[in-house]
Amino acid sequence: MTQNMESKISVEVDMSVNGAQKHTCRFPQWMTFLVRMVLTISLFTTYAGITDISYASGSNVPTPSEKNNQKKTVYLSFDDGPGLHTQEVLDILRKEEVPATFFVLGEQAQRNPELIRAIVEDGHALGNHTFNHNYKELYSDFKEFWKQIKQTEEVIHGITGLRPNLVRAPGGTYGHFDQSYFDLLKQGGYTVMDWNVDSGDSKRKGVPASEILRNATKVPAGTSSVIVLMHDGGAHAETVKALPEIIRYYQDQNYQFDTIKASDQPVQFRVKSDGAYASRKAPGKAWIAEHVEPNSALWLAGKELKVEIGMAAATLHSGEFRIEEQQIMVPLRSFMKKFGSNARWDAETRTATVVWKDRTIYASSISGELTSGRLGQAGETVKGKVRSQGGTTWVPLRDLLEQMGLSIQSMKSNKLEWTVKANVPVAAISRGNLTIYV
């Protein structure tokens, strides 16, 4: 190591006692090299561990696309809520640190908007389960099914600002969907998801927890991606009782837990050719052109947003972020949770507060200001950028990254995703009386 290089790495030891002068100690070359190596490893491990951070017999069900064939993944899903037991389910999932997907009914979402917000704030995924679950209405005419999907979509959007394009048919698609249902929903930008493991908690009244546990852990041979069907409505207290053991089973079997995403390969039952609704007429071309064809534009052609901060990365899927006035807007709480931080909400001041590393970030929905301070020091204020909708605080991604003390290295876009890369700042790191400068 040259003298010039050595001069750039100094170690200050506070030797002051009763007002004595502070001294700066220079260490030999081998020690400065060792300090630099330790610092590099520390920075790497700090940022490297965070990552991205929703029936029928005789059906041949595929499984979701797998990022790694060696991994086993389980997707816990809950239908028909939010209801009486949704909060209990959320409490268990939070305790176990497990994500899930909630396929919600529009009429239930209207009755329980606070539970919809809680689902999103806890980092779970939302799916569309139609508005009223009425088989006769939904499966006699595709136009009615479409109407209920759009109705529920608007309810969810009004509460959270999100538009989930993940759909689950009440009762599943087998015997209910013909090919036109599948084709038109896909054309409209939706992904239809069935399941491959049924907990059986809705087969009859009073299904005991022991039976639910047994059914929910019956994994078909050779299946490494499991979608478990459960319910969180008023008649499913036994599902709540079984849930901790269901989670424990999959943990013991070395499954990783994830939310269902619209970008996953669809898990769908085959079309039953002699189904009760086989003689249905499909909508006409004019109706399709007016309602279905332009609908997919709502999800930005299915693009995802990938944000990289040093060695850490997080992905926001279609519907989890917005484009407003040529700015990428992200939900503050769920975005920061992906990077290991939680937001606190003060209802009186209508301000969200996030602590990230050595910074505190404040987002006021009253003033529209995004403010940050470092270790109690005053920071910068960005005015007029914060949006609040249905309890969700939205902020511009660029402004948020800057308030986190990061600098944007690049922003790129292709047909599949936007990618934003931010640099991790290098600064002095203190350990008691030892300060290391890089």
Catalytic residues: 79, 231
Neighbour tally for 162: CB within 10 Å = 23
Which of these, 7, 164, 42, lies nearest to 431 by C-alpha position?
Answer: 42
Tokens 């052109």 identify what position?
A: 289
Could you give the CA distance from residue 244 to residue 248 in angstroms, rounded to a whole number? Answer: 6
What are residue 304's DSSP bridge partners?
417
State whether residue 64 is helix, strand or coil. coil
Tokens linked to 282: 């499909």
- Both ends of the chain: CA-CA distance in Å? 15
Whole-angstrom Cα distance, residue 79 to residue 136? 19
Check: CB of residue 131 under 8 Å from CB of residue 363.
no
What is the rounded distance in angstroms from the CA atom of residue 395 to the CA atom of residue 330?
Answer: 6
Separation of alpha carbons 74 and 100, rounded Å: 9
For residue 329, give the nearest of 289, 386, 273 by alpha carbon. Answer: 386
Token pair for 310: 């040093």
Query: For residues 148 and 50, what is the distance between their CA atoms, to the nearest angstrom?
Result: 38
For residue 39, which amino acid is it? L
DSSP summary character for residue 301:
G
DSSP state of 245: H
Q: DSSP 3-state assignment of 153?
A: helix
Structure-derived torsion over alpha carbons of residues 390, 393, 395, 400, reported in degrees to the nearest 10: -170
AA letter at 266: P
